């Protein structure tokens, strides 16, 4: 039998408000063993009944935020019927504001989050960056807006994630001297390829810190200056072979490098 406390979060939108409230409250009860179950976009009375029935099988509290009256009424009646503790987070505030403004709330769920085309494109771009990070799946290169190439610690992943938040689909591929350049890279249009590089000293510094954070010895070849120079030389030859532009990220912030990439690829015009 599950003896943990169960916190059910129910919302007709994303449920972020109730989630933050629950976390803030639970931070005051650190010694309690609990599980959080979150249900968002609940706008059906049958779904409410199923959730409350599930809650009734455990030591539960149902926290909910809804601007839909029918959902609020159903949640309250179901919780009371099944003897489940509940708390309506939003209604007291809405009622007070309605009195304060002498007006009624619009009653539309999700008004904090505009789920428009731009939002969904951004989510798709972020998922794309995660899926095609670090050369995980080269089949995605043909669908990318930008393909970043570079040896280790040339900011490939941070740049991919930053650009994805601007709705740009980015894939990145590491370059390693011992591994031949994949044929898929040669099939990517040159106007989508960007070669990243860094100064030897900066790479040495970054890699030493990386090894330190992993608890590894600084004697590892990864941070050896001769190895770094070898990798840089290899990457330069690959870039020359591909005919792609090169950006040195040594003294540039992620935002600055991203801006250069958008300008080189012409994506800056599309984003305006």
Q: Known binding site for ADP: residues?
A: 150-157
Contact 267, 172 (CB under 8 A): no
Q: Tell me the CB-side half-sphere exposure of residue 50, using CA atoms within 13 A.
A: 7
At CA 128, angle to CA 121 and CA 175, rounded to 5? 140
Helix (H, G, I), strand (E, B) or coil at 126: helix
The CA distance from 93 to 24, in Å, is 18
Q: Is 206 helix (H, G, I), strand (E, B) or coil?
A: helix
The alpha carbon dihedral of 267, 141, 137, 120 has a sign of positive
Is residue 142 within 8 Å of residue 188, measured between CB atoms?
Answer: yes
Give binding residues as ranges: 150-157
Residue 197 host element (H or E): strand 193-197
DSSP count for the chain of H helices, then E strands: 11, 8
Distance between CA atoms of residues 132 and 124, nearest Å:
12
CB atoms within 10 A of CB 213: 8
């Amino acid at each position: 039998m599950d003896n943990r406390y169960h916190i059910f979060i129910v919302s007709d939108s994303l449920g972020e408000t109730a989630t933050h409230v629950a976390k803030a409250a639970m931070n005051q009860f650190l010694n309690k063993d609990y599980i959080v179950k979150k249900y968002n976009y609940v706008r059906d009375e049958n779904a409410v009944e199923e959730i409350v029935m599930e809650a009734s099988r455990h030591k539960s509290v149902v926290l909910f935020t809804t601007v839909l009256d029918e959902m609020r009424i159903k949640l309250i009646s179901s919780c009371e019927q099944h003897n489940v503790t509940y708390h309506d987070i939003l209604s007291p505030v809405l009622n007070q504001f309605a009195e304060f403004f002498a007006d009624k709330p619009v009653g539309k769920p999700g008004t904090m989050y505009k789920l428009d085309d731009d939002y969904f494109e951004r989510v798709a771009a972020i998922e794309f960056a995660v899926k095609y990070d670090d050369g995980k799946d080269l089949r995605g290169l043909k669908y990318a807006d930008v393909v970043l190439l570079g040896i280790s610690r040339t900011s490939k992943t941070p740049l991919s994630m930053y650009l994805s938040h601007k709705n740009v689909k980015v894939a990145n591929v590491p370059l390693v001297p011992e591994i031949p350049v994949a044929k898929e890279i040669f099939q990517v249009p040159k106007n989508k390829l960007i070669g990243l590089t860094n100064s030897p000293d900066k790479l040495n510094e970054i890699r030493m810190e990386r090894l330190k954070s992993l608890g590894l010895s600084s004697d590892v070849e990864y941070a050896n200056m001769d190895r770094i120079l070898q990798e840089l030389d290899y990457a330069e030859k690959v870039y020359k072979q591909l005919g792609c532009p090169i950006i040195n990220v040594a003294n540039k912030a992620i935002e600055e490098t991203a801006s250069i990439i958008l300008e080189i690829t012409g994506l800056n015009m599309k984003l305006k």
